[in-house]
Structure 1
Amino acid sequence: MLRLLTRFIGLLLLAGGFIALIVDGTRSIAGGRLLVTTLNKGASEFFPALYQGLQNGVSEKSAFLWDPVFTTLLLLPISVAFGGLGALLIVLSHKQETTPRYWRR
């Protein structure tokens, strides 16, 4: 059951990353230059109160943690972050083989 849920969430994230890639591509073609939506911009536009609360909470605990770690992670494009996390969840949800195949002996 947990494997099914993990795979479903991974598939949703992978689809969200693909949609974000299409949206960024469309905006880039219309604008005539490369336009990429980062996690920082997306989070601050769609969830401003949650983003501000996260920033204040993490900065309150450790200023070192927010500046280099979260700032560099939030510079990733949404398509790369969602697609990578979705692909990782799908790969981790696969069942391990108990018996080796004949070509792996």
Structure 2
Amino acid sequence: MIRFAFRFVGLWILAAAFIFLVYDGTRSIAAGVVLIKPFGETWNDIHAGSLQALQPIMERHSPWLWDPAMLKALTSPTWLVLGVIGMILVLLGRKRKPLIGFARR
């Protein structure tokens, strides 16, 4: 059941990543230059309070996680961050390979 939930949520996140890829492509074609919306800006547009609340929590528990890792994710394109998260969830939810023979357990 949990694998199904991982796959289900992962596929929805991959669909959102594709939507943001099309959105960036459309904006880029219309403007004539490459325009990429960073993940931090998208998160801020959706819910600014949670992003501002996350920074002190992460800096208090593990400062190295905020500065190189989270700042890199916040400046990356939205479609890339969502695509990576979606692929990880789909891979976590994949079905096990069937067992061959009796020796493998």
TM-score tier after normalising by the smaller chain length: 0.7 to 0.9
The amino acid that maps onto 1:75 is T
Aligned counterpart, 1:44:
44
Aligned counterpart, 2:70:
70
Aligned counterpart, 2:103:
none
Q: Distance in 2 between matches of 1:9 and 1:44?
A: 22
The amino acid that maps onto 1:52 is Q
Measured after TM superposition, the shift of residue 69 of structure 1 is 2.1
TM normalised by structure 1 equals 0.82
Measured after TM superposition, the shift of residue 25 of structure 1 is 0.6
Aligned residues: 101
Aligned counterpart, 1:55:
55
Taking a change above 3 Å as real, the CA distance of residues 65 and 2 of structure 1, as seen in their structure-2 partners, is: closer
* Percent identity of equivalent pairs: 35
TM normalised by structure 2 equals 0.82
Q: Which runs of 5+ in 1 are unaligned?
A: 101-105
Q: Which runs of 5+ in 2 are unaligned?
A: 101-105
Q: What are the residue-to-residue correspondences of 1:22-33 with 2, within 5 Å? A: 22-33=22-33
